[in-house]
Amino acid sequence: MVMKSSVEDDDVGWGLGVPEKMRNNANWVDITHEFKGACKELNLGELLHDKFRFGLFEAMSAIEMMDPKMDAGMIGNQVNRKVLNFEQAVKDGAIRVRDLSLPELIGIMDTCFCCLITWLEGHSLAQTVFTCLYVHNPDLIEDPALKAFTLGILKVCDIAREKVNKAAVFEEEDFQAMTYGFKMANNVTDLRVTGMLKDVEDELQRKVKSTRSRQGEQRDPEVELEHQQCLALFSRIKFTRLLLTALIAFTKKETSSVSEAQKLMQQAADLLPALRSSIEHGIQSQNDTTKGDHPIMMGFEPLVNQRLLPPTFPRYAKIIKREEMINYFSKLIDRIKTVCEVINTTNLHGILDFFCEFSEQSPCVLSRSLLQTTFLIDNKKVFGTLPMQDMIKDALRYFVSPPVLSSKCCLYNNHQAKDYIDSFVAHCSRPFCSLIQIHGHNRARQRDKLGHILEEFATLQDEAEKVDAALHSLLMKLEPQRQHLACLGTWILYHNLRIMIQYLLSGFELELYSMHEYYYIYWYLSEFLYAWLMSTLSRADSSQLAEERLLEEQQKGRSSKKTKKKKKGQGARPLSREITMSQAYQNMCAGMYKTMIALDMDGKVRKPQFELDSEQVRYEHRFAPFNSVVTPPPVHYVQFKEMSDLKKYSPPPQSADLYMAASKHFQQAKLILENVPSPDPEVNRILKVAKPNIVVMKLLAGGHKKETKVLPEFDFSTHKYFPVVKII
Amino acid sequence: MRIRMTDGRTLVGLFLCTDRDCNVILGSAQEFLKSSDSFSQGEPRVLGLAMIPGHHVVSIEVESDMYLV
């Protein structure tokens, strides 16, 4: 490409006007003919360009006009209808603000609901809710039902947006927070809007009553239709009011309002069947919307905001269909009801588990945000009442019973000890709040962030060890029969291991690993991380037992009636379920690890074959986030190869031996899980994988289909971390 | 510089580059719908850097006090 720089002495004039000047009072001179003629004098590929303001970057980044992929303003001219905004449409008569029929109202509201849901699913307001002309200026609407409804929708959007922004657990793929300067009914209070909705509701309820069928009377089909339609409209208005009121409840600081929200959501759920059965009464769109095209109907103009969109290439929002709207609302309500349950858990570990479990169903951004803002109201206290530091101390007591936090220990009131522990707990606050926030992100982003937070936890680990040592030496002097060995360290280590395990397991869920990587992932989990976890949990358990025994001893001196003979294993130890589940997981991972090694021995694992391939590079990349962790120390590739080398056994095991070993691991997992009291869905999911795998491994050990060239399949549909191995 | 396109839209911006086929690149471009003389269309849309293919150029105008003899 040959570039000719611009003529210097003409620079002064060329294109240097301020854009504001280029308005209707400027004197424009047509130079089309001269310009085009001059252009013809250029050679092919030769450019005439501004000396300073034009380079390769500009050449590359200019958007091309009249190309539908890049020119968002073009589409307005391609459709054969006039694109009018709200005021223009009213003037034109294309849209009515009064005397709307019941079917029109129902149809408009249903389409609005669909737009609302599409927005909540991550599209821009400009291409969803604000394609409804009515919401641009509800003050112009005279029909009371539609006016109340549009104000209600605007308030719902406003509160939802506020919550999502505050919770900050979204990324650009989750949610578009831009409001484009649209007015969100700020001139009306929330209370006024719910009041307006209630008034309309009451009016409609009167109509419904007056048109209902009476015993012994002949049913007039027209009256029946009116009755159905009134009922349909009534249900929609009430649904909107309940949804709005529930969201308003979430904005309040008291936890009692969370229970109120839950009740309101249940009432809204009760209305869904009525909504579903009356969709047909609403006016339908004039175009075919089966492929997701925006409905064209009165009150909606999909291109009304086209000019507000950024000049990047235009993205079109596929509005969901009315039939799907009910299903979506149903699931959304379920999620919100689940979110309300969190206030019933008051210990930190329970809350963490709640967040993890909730996240596993990949919930929507709104429910995730509501959960975050319910947990940490204004980011200060848990549920608005409990300081984070107290929760951390409680978690420590529950998990590892450190003497320093026991009121029966002399350290409890020791100034220096208190300083140490208080400072440590203060430092724990932020990482744990971050951890809970991480669990509010979508599954993909979560994995990434979990990897990063290991650095903070490594620092905490360091501090924990130092504080433990200091407290231990203090305790030795004051109460020699007690120990403060690695209490805090054990607790931080437990969380470290949890994060590392979650990080690795989520790779299966997100389908990040290739088959030939499974073996070292499962190895790291079973032989290393779960092994550490088991020993950490049993150490915590012993620490608890030691404290309990000490308390018993102290109580013995007082009243002999109080002391009961504590039998071994009386009642479930607080950590027993977790220990059991970890054992089961460890066995599943061990089974998978040995399965993969055996399959590899039999040539059933496809490996990359390119010249510069290096398994070490892949391995180091997969475990890179662990390098910042001190305890447990990361296992580097060479070390891993040594530790997993089968040749250290004589005779070295054959594939058949490994299949049998894998089968035994799955069998062990099955036994452990079948003995779990009150099994939850997770236990059953793992059993559904363990059982077939036991059989498959035994078959493979017997040489089943050894000669086949067809590779085995791994079915993660039952459990996202452990596949059912299928031999074709 | 002000360029009218074949679909009736008008772009106003700083002239930056052109070539033999009269493809024009404007900087700080603003898009006006239909007629840019009357303001019935409201606010212009800000585009930034925009390239108009030569075959879509209907007319090119510059402000008269900058017209060079």
8 Å CB contact of B25 and A35: no
Cβ partners under 8 Å of residue A438, min gap 6: A446, A449, A450, A453
Mind listing the pLDDT tens digit for each residue in A611-641?
A: 888 999 999 999 999 999 999 999 999 999 9
A366 touches A120 (CB < 8 A): yes
Contact B17 A48 (CB under 8 A): yes
Predicted pLDDT of residue A455: 95
CA end-to-end span of chain A, whole Å?
58
Is A77 close to B7, i.e. CB distance below 8 A?
Answer: yes
SS3 A257: helix
Lowest mean per-residue pLDDT among A45-59, A158-172, A674-688: A45-59
Q: What is the mean pLDDT of residues A438-448?
A: 95
Among B20, B51, B67, the residue with its CB nearest the CB of A62 is B51
Residues of A in contact with B1 (CB under 8 A): 15
Query: How far apart (Å, rounded) are the C-alpha atoms in residues A401 and A120?
Result: 44
B40 contact A CB<8A: no
- A17 and B15: CB-CB below 8 Å? no
Question: Which residue would you say has higher pLDDT here, A503 or A478?
Answer: A503
Measure the CA dihedral A12/A15/A20/A22, to 10°. 110
Check CB contact of B19 with chain A, cutoff 8 Å: yes
* Torsion of the alpha carbons at A191, A194, A195 and A196, rounded to the nearest 10: 120
Amino acid B39: pLDDT: 43
Residue B46 β-bridge partners: B30
Is pLDDT at A311 greater than 80 in this prediction? no
Determine contact, residues A508/A716, Cβ cutoff 8 Å: yes
Query: Where does the pLDDT of residue A566 fall: very low under 50, low under 70, confident under 90, or very high at 90 and above?
Result: very low
d(CA A327, CA A693): 36
Average pLDDT of span A261-271: 97
Q: Under a CB-based contact definition with an 8 Å cutoff, are residues B19 and A46 in contact?
A: yes
- Supply the pLDDT for residue A379: 64
Residues of chain A with Cβ-Cβ distance to B62 below 8 Å are: 28-29, 31
pLDDT exceeds cutoff 90 at A384: no
The band of A557, judged by pLDDT with boundaries at 50, 70 and 90, is low
Q: Give the residue with greater pLDDT, A692 vs A51.
A: A692
Distance CA A525, CA A504 (A): 8
Mean pLDDT of A253-281: 94
Quick one: pLDDT band at residue A3, thresholds 50, 70, 90? very low
Over its length of 69 residues, how does chain B's per-residue pLDDT go in tens digits? 999 999 889 999 999 999 999 999 999 999 988 654 444 556 788 888 999 999 999 999 998 765 554
pLDDT in tens, A514-529: 999 999 999 999 999 9
> Among residues A392, A278, A261, which one has the least CA distance to residue A337?
A261
Tell me which of A116-120, A406-410, A638-642, A687-691 is least confident: A406-410
Per DSSP, the residues of A523-568 read HIIIIIIHHHHHHHHHHHHHHHHHHHHHHHHHHHTT-TTT-----T
Mean pLDDT of A487-501: 95
Buried b (16+ CB within 10 A) or exposed e, A231-248: bbbbbbbbbbbbbbbbbb
Q: Which residues of chain B does A17 touch, with a Cβ-Cβ cutoff of 8 Å?
A: 14, 63, 66
**Which pLDDT value is given to residue A313?**
54
pLDDT by residue (tens digit) across A585-608? 999 999 999 999 999 999 999 998
Residue A220 has pLDDT above 90, yes or no: no
A544 vs A6, higher pLDDT: A544
Any bridge partners for residue A64, and if so which? B51
Average pLDDT, integer, range A79-88: 82
Judging contacts by C-beta atoms under 8 Å, the chain A residues touching residue B17 are 47-50, 54, 58-59
Burial zone of B11 (CB within 10 Å; 0-12 exposed, 13-18 middle, 19+ buried): buried
Q: Do A311 and B45 touch (CB under 8 A)?
A: yes
pLDDT at A564 over 90: no
CA distance A632 to A332: 40
Pairing type for strands A724-726 and A713-715 reads: antiparallel
Per-residue pLDDT, A552? 84
Q: Which residue has the higher pLDDT, A11 or A464?
A: A464
Three-state SS sequence of A189-236:
CHHHHHHHHHHHHHHHHHHHHHCCCCCCCCCCHHHHHHHHHHHHHHHH
**pLDDT surpassing 80 at residue A562:** no
- The residue of chain B nearest to residue A52, with distances taken between CA atoms, is B16
Task: Say if residue A42 is exposed, middle or buried (CB neighbours under 10 Å; 0-12, 13-18, 19+).
Answer: middle
Judge whether residue A710 has pLDDT over 80: yes
d(CA A449, CA A435): 9
Question: How confident is the model at residue A433, as a pLDDT?
Answer: 93
- Mutate which: B5, B28, B34, B60, vs A, most A CBs within 10 A: B60
Consecutive H or E run containing A663: helix A655-674
CA of B41 vs chain A CAs: smallest distance (Å): 10
Give the pLDDT confidence score for residue A703 in this predicted structure.
87
Task: Return the half-sphere exposure (C-beta side, CA atoms, 13 A cut-off) of residue A30.
Answer: 6
Q: Which residues pair with A132 in a beta bridge?
A: A300
Element (H, E) at A263: helix A256-277
B58 chain-A contacts, CB cut-off 8 A:
32
Give the whole-number percent of chain A exceeding pLDDT 90: 64
Pairing state between β B2-5 and A2-5: unpaired
Q: Does B34 touch chain A (CB under 8 A)?
A: no
Least confident of A21-30, A200-209, A706-715, B45-54: A21-30
Residue A149, pLDDT score: 97
Report strand pairing: A2-5 vs A28-30: unpaired
Q: Count of A–B CB contacts within 8 Å?
A: 150
How far is A266 from A558, CA to CA, in rounded Å?
A: 52
Q: Which residues does residue A415 pair with via DSSP β-bridges, in sequence order?
A: none
C-alpha closest to that of A568 among A579, A577, A576: A576
Residue A132: DSSP 8-state: B
| Among A residues 23-52, those touching chain B with beta carbons less than 8 Å apart | 24, 26-32, 35-36, 39-40, 42-50
CB atoms within 10 A of CB B8: 13
d(CA A246, CA A163): 13
Asked if A65 and B17 come within 8 Å (Cβ–Cβ), the reply is no
CA distance A30 to A309: 31
Mean pLDDT of A412-428: 90
Residues of B in contact with A19 (CB under 8 A): 12-13, 28, 30
A18 touches chain B (CB under 8 A): no
As given in the structure block, the two tokens for residue A348 are 């930190």
Which residue has tokens 């969370």?
Answer: A258
What average pLDDT score do residues A648-657 get? 91
What are residue A364's phi and psi, to 5 degrees? -75, 165
Average pLDDT over residues A135-147: 95
A212: Cα separation from own chain's centroid: 45
pLDDT band at A11 (very low <50, low <70, confident <90, very high): very low
A317 vs A571, residue with greater confidence: A317
SS3 at position A47: strand
**Is the CB of B35 inside 8 Å of chain A's CB atoms?**
no
Mean pLDDT of chain A: 89
Distance CA A456, CA A496 (A): 10
Q: Is A624 exposed, middle or buried (0-12, 13-18, 19+ CB in 10 A)?
A: exposed
Residue A271 phi, psi dihedral angles, 5° rounding: -85, -15
pLDDT of res. A7: 41
pLDDT in the model for residue A2 = 44
Task: Find chain B residues with C-beta within 8 A of A64's C-beta.
Answer: 50-51, 53
Give the side-chain half-sphere CA count within 13 A for A201: 16
pLDDT number for residue A69: 77
pLDDT for A9: 39
- Please identify which residue in the block is written with the tokens 């105008």: B61
A175 and A122 Cβ atoms separated by less than 8 Å: yes
Query: In chain B, what is the straight-line distance between the N-terminal and C-terminal CA atoms, in Å?
Result: 16
pLDDT beyond 90 at A265? yes
Picking from A15-24, A265-274, B36-45, which range would have the lowest pLDDT averaged per residue?
A: A15-24
B11 close contact with A: CB closer than 8 A: yes
Mean pLDDT across the stretch A684-713? 92
Q: Identify from B3, B6, B20, B36 which residue to disrupt to test chain A contact, counting A C-beta atoms within 10 A and taking the largest count.
A: B20
Put simply, the answer to whether A10 touches B68 (Cβ < 8 Å) is yes
Measured between CB atoms, does B68 come within 8 Å of chain A? Answer: yes
Q: Are B25 and B17 in contact (CB under 8 A)?
A: yes
Q: Report the distance separating Cα A88 and Cα A326, nearest Å.
A: 33
pLDDT digits 0-9 by tens, A371-381: 999 998 776 78
3-state secondary structure B3-64: EEECCCCEEEEEEEEEECCCCEEEEEEEEECCCCCCCCCCCCEEEEEEEECHHHEEEEEEEH
Identify the H or E element spanning A84.
none
Query: What DSSP string describes A708-719?
Result: --SPPEEE-SS-
